[in-house]
Amino acid sequence: MEGMEAQEFFHVPVLSHEVIEGLAVRPSGHYLDATVGGGGHTRLILEAALDVRVTAIDQDEQALLAAQKQLVDLGDRLKFILSNFADYEFSPMTFDGIIADLGVSSYHLDTPERGFSFRHEASLDMRMDRRQPLTAGDVINDWDEAELASIFFKYGEERLSRRIARRIVEQRPFHTTVELAAAIASAVPRQYRYGRIHPATRVFQALRIVVNDELKSLETFLQKAPNWLVPGGKIAIISFHSLEDRIVKHSLRNSTLLQVITKKPITAQEEEIVNNPRSRSAKLRIGERSYTNS
């Protein structure tokens, strides 16, 4: 079962060729994978050049354990750290390159008990770091109607946020993902119920962002990370929705230490989208630590 869990955690890294090219991985370089997940990008970095070392961070203990199993053959060139990427401090000019893949891993979506997906019945959890106290159930069952409407609109970009919040408050408490998804579906007009995406998708995104404080963590990380690069070192960030991409775009552009390499984000080629549908919404932006401000 343990081996099975590690296998499940491994997911195909998106934009893998573009990331390795963008980081310009060099022999004996030291790289930071700030969201190691299943270890896909870390493996590619370690195999891209001789004597490369990677420091790998994840806030999810299960992710870290799974990555250690996946990368056991490369273990002596790896250091693992259990932490949110916004909370850890590194010395200035430590890394030749930094990668952060902000997507929820397919493991999280496919592991019912984590509560990230309404495709499976599970408790309303959604914590990446299970040491944190706040769960999605706490938000749904305890926050008032105006707060719920606000987060659904702000973090889920859900236009029907008020209707959905009203229905949730009328019907709560909720205990499972499936119950919540059904209540959301019942709150929206019939034509939305059978659209391209399930009507609960945006609300679940909003809950995940709130529970894990994702946008604030991303802002904090992007303020600190350029300091950790050597001059000429690259930072590559993959985002999956417009809220994240906006923060990445502005943070790279506004940093006094970085030059933006990607005027427009790099997106997946058609071949990758066919093989890995998850890559469809991925956007990669790259910055380089300038030599003048070092």
Per-position DSSP letters for the chain, written without gaps between them? -HHHHHHHH--PPTTHHHHHHHHT--TT-EEEETT-TTSHHHHHHHHHSTT-EEEEEES-HHHHHHHHHHTGGGGGGEEEEES-TTT----TT-EEEEEEE-SPPHHHHH-GGG---SSS--BS---SSTTS---HHHHHHHS-HHHHHHHHHHHH--TTHHHHHHHHHHH----BHHHHHHHHHHHS-HHHHTSSS-TTHHHHHHHHHHHTTHHHHHHHHHHHGGGGEEEEEEEEEEE-SHHHHHHHHHHHHH-SSEEES-SS-B---HHHHHH-GGGGG-EEEEEEE-STT-
Q: Which of 113-117, 195-199, 269-273, 285-289: highest mean pLDDT?
A: 285-289
Q: What is the mean pLDDT of the chain?
A: 92
Return the minimum-mean-pLDDT range out of 4-13, 86-95, 181-190. Answer: 4-13
Q: What is the pLDDT of residues 39-57, one digit of tens each?
A: 899 999 999 999 999 999 9
Kindly state the percentage of the chain with pLDDT values over 70.
Answer: 95
Distance separating the N- and C-terminal Cα atoms of the chain: 48
Mean pLDDT of 253-259: 97
Over residues 151-155, mean pLDDT: 98
- Bridging pattern class, strands 258-260 and 283-289: antiparallel
State yes or no: pLDDT of 12 exceeds 90.
Answer: no
- Residue 292: the pLDDT is 78
- pLDDT for 72-93, tens place per residue? 998 789 999 999 999 999 999 9
Q: What are phi and psi of 126, to 5 degrees?
A: 70, 10
Predicted confidence (pLDDT) per residue in 199-241, tens digit: 999 999 999 999 999 999 999 999 999 999 999 999 999 999 9
Amino acid at 42: T
pLDDT exceeds cutoff 70 at 1: no
What is the average pLDDT across 1-15? Answer: 55
Give Cα 273 distance to the centre of its chain.
18
Does the N-terminal peptide bond of residue 265 adopt cis geometry, omega within 30 degrees of 0? no
Q: What is the average pLDDT across 124-147?
A: 96
